[in-house]
Chain A
Amino acid sequence: MNWSDIGTISPVVIAVLVAAAVLVVDMVAPGRRDPVIVTALGGLGIVAVAILIQAGRSGSAFGGAYSLDNLTVFLDMLFVAIAALTIMFAADYLEPRGLPIAEFAAVLIFAVTGAMLVAGSTDLLLLFVALELMVLPGYMLAGFARHDPYSTEGAIKYFLLGSFSSAILLFGLAYVWGITGTTRVDGVAAALATVVATGKIAPGLAMGLAFMTTGVAFKMAAVPFHYWTPDAYQGSPTPVTAYLSVGPKVGAFAIALRLFVGALGPLKADWLPVVIVLAALTMTLGNLVAITQDNVKRMLAYSSIAHTGYILVGLAAYAGGEQSGLSAILFYGAAYTFMNMGAFAVVTALQRRPGVSSQIATFAGLGRRDPWLGALMALFLLSLTGIPPLAGFWAKAYVILAAIQAGGWLTVLAVLAMINAAAAAFYYLRVVVYMYMREPTGDAAPSSPGALFRTGLAITGVGTLIFGLFPALVAAAADAANVFHG
């Protein structure tokens, strides 16, 4: 280790310091909201600057365990944006419930630090440790409202299945390490390339591969490994749900890129059929169950499962020989972040007053009660549906296009994705119908959210529009971040 290593991982180091600074600030001025938020958001701004300074450079640290490339920069920026938006949405929700914002922000930034480390890790062991750093704070956040039975129930389900899947993933990693003899991603890829050339995969290696696939599928909530998702999302405090639905999900796809594409790339013909089946099951089942939900948080949980399926189509397209599948995954991750966080932010805005449920009836008449909030929710839902010219349309278009170009069975998968996108319109638009065509029920309109919250909403809204109107900008960045050419 030397100073240039520290320089390479400087965004991660600064993020850890920011989380610590938030705790110190809370110790100096206990229970005050503004100093904490200024420290957290200002600190994340510094992290963003540190990431952007590194843009375009490439290098590695700690003997090749961590690499800095365009993929790291792209994903790091996304994770910082997720953290900043979550803090903006959380403050107004936590305060009326008497939950401490400082601890929330610190735990959240630690989680994002783990996600940033995942994005850059090119070593199986570092990947696992970074993954744990990402998910352990996530379990804490899910149970953050510890006197609320729903929150703790969501947390325990998330924790038990999460650590179960971590153990399975670790078992797979141990076998891949034991048989290839290295933990470095490029070393594993080289060893596997010789294995493929000789044409015979050892049973131990096949087992390791199967366990790793299962572990990662749990993390990204792919069917049939999705059982924790609805309860964890519905039970968690709503801003936490907003974070969980994008942060760990993009993190899981970062693992998929580093692990499946980076390390297991030579075996892609072997894992392609598995990914095709997972993608088909995930989007179909996610959408079918989402249709029957009356709770908007739970509906969005199943919708996030369905979106995992669409993203998996991009991974399958890559394994089918179409490089642009990976760029499509990155574009989808970025677009999904803005539109889904936006949708959860509107739910958060309605639930700021404790006791308001996330049932669909809460949305009745929202278009008239609060035209701005209603219009934004409609925007996010239309984008999630995939209506042009919004972010979600291009996200779906890119993965489906990549799958069609790959050809073969992937064409069938692409058609299935299109059918699913059409079916999904039913449950997204149902909320829009409630907002604009039903009379408001219950008591008065919610007071309008604070300035910070409105800023966050504006960012997600503008992001959804910009991604839709100028997709080429983000697509170019996603293309540059696709470092797996050749």
Chain B
Amino acid sequence: MSNSLDSYLVLSGLLFAIGTFGFLARRNAISMLMSIELMINAVNLTVLAFGAFVAPLRVHAAVIALLVIAVAAAEATVGLAIVIAIFRNKKTPLVDEYDSMRD
């Protein structure tokens, strides 16, 4: 179990679950952004685990992981820019207080 595909899939599944929990439980926009990064990196671990243990997937896995890293970086850039923009308007990073449109 210790060095098998299953153990890595369980690990990455747990990381993904932690990320999901963080996203749902945290109220700070920056923490939520970090949780999303954790989820995406859990996916990367899944991809690399498949690549490491399933021989025909090895080349694919590296390419997929690189592209996912690039996409995650682009997403973080846009996300941080939006967080900065709203922080200037609202003076708080807490998403609870972004409620001016609630009906």
Contacts and interface: CB of A to CB of B under 8 A. Distances in A.
A149 interface: yes
B85 A178 contact: no
A158 to B, nearest CB: 9
Contacts of B50: 174, 177-178
A167 B89 contact: no
Interface residues of A, number: 42
Interface in B66-103: 67-68, 71, 74-75, 78-79, 81-83, 85-86, 88-90, 95, 98, 100-101, 103
Nearest to B63: A125
A139 B19 contact: no
Given A152-B85, A156-B83, A164-B36, A235 B78 contact: no
Contact of B40 (A143, A167, A177): A167
Interface string A181-204: 101000000000000000000001
For B16, B56, B63, B82, which residue has the most chain A Cβ atoms within 10 angstroms? Answer: B82
Contacts, number: 118
A289 to B, nearest CB: 9
B47 A149 contact: no
A204 B78 CA distance: 32
A398 to B, nearest CB: 33
Contacts of A411: none
A155 B85 CA distance: 10
Contacts of B32: 160
B11 interface: no
Most buried by B among A128, A152, A174, A204: A174
A298 interface: yes
A485 interface: no
Contacts of B95: 156-157, 160
Nearest to B32: A160
A159 B78 contact: yes
A152 B82 contact: yes
Residue among A146, A156, A168, A235 facing the most chain B CB atoms (10 A cut-off): A156
A170 B43 CA distance: 7
A88 B46 CA distance: 45
Contact of B71 (A132, A171, A292): A132
- What's the dominant secondary structure at chain A's contact region? helix
Given A150-B101, A153-B98, A177-B50, A163 B75 contact: yes
B82 A293 contact: no
A171 B43 contact: yes
B19 to A, nearest CB: 7
B62 interface: no
Contact of B57 (A152, A171, A178, A230): A178
B14 interface: no
Interface string B6-35: 000100000010010001000001001100
Contact of A147 (B36, B67, B79, B89): B89
Contacts of A16: none
Contacts of B67: 125, 129
Contacts of B79: 139, 159-160, 163
A101 to B, nearest CB: 19
Contacts of B64: 125, 174, 177, 183
Contacts of B29: 156, 160
Contacts of A298: 101, 103
B100 A174 contact: no
A111 to B, nearest CB: 12
A271 interface: no
B98 A177 contact: no
29 contacts: A125-B64, A128-B71, A129-B67, A129-B71, A139-B79, A140-B81, A146-B88, A146-B89, A147-B88, A149-B89, A152-B82, A152-B85, A152-B86, A152-B89, A152-B90, A153-B98, A153-B100, A156-B82, A156-B86, A159-B79, A163-B36, A171-B39, A171-B46, A174-B46, A174-B47, A177-B50, A177-B57, A230-B101, A235-B101
Given A174-B50, A235-B101, 10 more contacts: A146-B89, A156-B95, A159-B79, A160-B79, A164-B23, A171-B42, A177-B47, A177-B57, A178-B57, A298-B103
Q: What are the nearest 8 A-B pairs in CB distance?
A: A178-B50, A167-B39, A152-B86, A149-B89, A146-B85, A174-B46, A153-B98, A152-B85
Interface of A: 125, 128-129, 132, 136, 139-140, 143, 146-150, 152-157, 159-160, 163-164, 166-168, 170-171, 174-175, 177-178, 181, 183, 204, 230-231, 234-235, 292-293, 298
